[in-house]
C-alpha cells in the first residue's frame, strides 16, 4: 500500500502539500514497522520472557513519545483540518496499541497469562491504524494532486 501512495505522490512538489503528506506517511510506515518488529521479537527463542517484556515495553514507551510528536506535527499542518473523529484512528488507536504493548510487557515480565493477548491486540490495532492511514492518505493524494 505504501508503494502505491508513494507512486501517487510523485508529482507533489516540495511545498507544504508534500510536507503534509509526509506528516501522514511516516507514521503509517512506523505502524507497519512496529508490527514487523513485534513479530520478530516474539518469534526469537529467548532464554526467558524478560527480554521480550523489556524490548516490547521499550517499544510501547517510545511509541507513545513518538505519537505525541506526530500529533503536534499534524496540528501544525495548515491545509488539512482533522475533525474530532479523525483523531481516533490517527492518535487514539495508536495510543491504545502502545498502551497495550506496555501492559503486555508488564504482564510478560510478571508472567501473567494476559500478556500474549495484549500483544495480539496491539498488533491488530497497529495494522488497523496503518491500513487506515495508508488508505486515507491515498484518497487525499488522488483528490488533491492538482494542488501541488
Q: For residue 23, what is its C-alpha cell?
A: 506528516
- pTM of the shown model: 0.84
Mean pLDDT in consecutive groups of 10 residues from the start of the chain, 148 residues: 56 59 80 93 93 96 94 71 80 96 96 95 95 83 64
DSSP codes, the chain = -HHHHHHHGGG--SSHHHHHHHHHHHHHHHHHHHHHHHHHHHHS--SSSHHHHHHHHHHHHHHHHHHHHHHHHHHH-SS----HHHHIIIIIHHHHHHHHHHHHHHHHHTT-TTHHHHHHHHHHHHHHHHHHHHHHHHHHHHHTTTT-
- What is the structure's pLDDT at 87? 83
**The pLDDT value given to residue 139:** 77
Q: Where are the domains of the chain?
A: 16-143
Amino acid at each position: 500500500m505504501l508503494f502505491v501512495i508513494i507512486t501517487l505522490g510523485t508529482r507533489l512538489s516540495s511545498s507544504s502539500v508534500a510536507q503534509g503528506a509526509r506528516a501522514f506517511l511516516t507514521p503509517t510506515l512506523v505502524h507497519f514497522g512496529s508490527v514487523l518488529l513485534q513479530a520478530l521479537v516474539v518469534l526469537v527463542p529467548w532464554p526467558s520472557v524478560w527480554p521480550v517484556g523489556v524490548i516490547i515495553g521499550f517499544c510501547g514507551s517510545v511509541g507513545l513519545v513518538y505519537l505525541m510528536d506526530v500529533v503536534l506535527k499534524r496540528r501544525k499542518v495548515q491545509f488539512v483540518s482533522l475533525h474530532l473523529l479523525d483523531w481516533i484512528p490517527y492518535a487514539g488507536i495508536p495510543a491504545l496499541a502502545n498502551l497495550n504493548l506496555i501492559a503486555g510487557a508488564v504482564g510478560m515480565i510478571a508472567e501473567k497469562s494476559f500478556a500474549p493477548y495484549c500483544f495480539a491486540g496491539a498488533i491488530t490495532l497497529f495494522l488497523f491504524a496503518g491500513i487506515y492511514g495508508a488508505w486515507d492518505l491515498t484518497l487525499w493524494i488522488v483528490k488533491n494532486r492538482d494542488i501541488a
